Amino acid sequence: MEVDDLPVTAPESVEAFLARLTQISQGLPRRLRQCADHIAANVDRIAVSTVAELATGADVPPSALMRFCQIMGYSGFSEMQKMFREAYAPGFPDYATRLKNLKQAGSGTASALLAEFVDAGRISLESLVKSTDEAALTTAVELLAQADTLHVVGLRRAFPIASYLAYVFEKMAVPAMLHDSVGKLDHRHALRAGDAVLAITFAPYSEETIALAAEAHGRGLSVVALTDRLTSPLARSADAVLTVPEVDFGAFRSLSATLALALTLAVAVGARRDETA
Residues 58-117 that bind DNA (CB under 7 A): 60-64, 66-67, 69-70, 75-79, 81
Of the residues 8, 10, 37, 51, which one makes contact with a second copy according to CB under 8 A: 37
| CB of 190 vs DNA, minimal distance in Å | 35
Report the residue number, 31 or 188, with the smaller CB distance to DNA.
31
Q: Which residues contact 268 (CB under 8 A, 6 or more apart)?
A: 137, 141
Binding status of residue 102 toward a second copy by CB under 8 A: yes
Contact call for residues 159 and 238 (beta carbons, < 8 A): no
Compose the 224-263 pattern: x for residues touching a second copy by CB under 8 A, - for all others. -----xxx-x-xx----x---x----xxx-xxxx-xxx-x
Q: Are 256 and 125 in contact (CB under 8 A)?
A: yes
Of residues 191-250, those binding DNA (CB under 7 A): none
Q: Are 21 and 39 in contact (CB under 8 A)?
A: yes
Q: What are phi and psi of 74, to 5 degrees?
A: -95, 160
CB 265 within 8 A of CB 150: no
User: Per CB under 7 A, does 175 bind DNA?
Assistant: no
Window 122 to 161, contacts with a second copy (CB under 8 A)? 122, 125-126, 128-132, 134, 137-138, 141, 156-157, 159-161
Evaluate whether 61 touches 52 at the Cβ level (below 8 Å).
no
| 29 near DNA, rule: CB under 7 A | yes
Return the number of the residue (23 or 276) whose C-beta is nearest DNA. Answer: 23
**Residues sharing a CB contact under 8 Å with residue 87, sequence separation 6 or more, in sequence order:** 13, 14, 47
Distance, CA of 39 to CA of 104 (rounded, Å): 44
- Is residue 18 near a second copy by the rule CB under 8 A? yes
Q: Does 204 bind a second copy (CB under 8 A)?
A: no
Q: How far is the CB of 266 from a second copy (least distance, A)?
A: 8
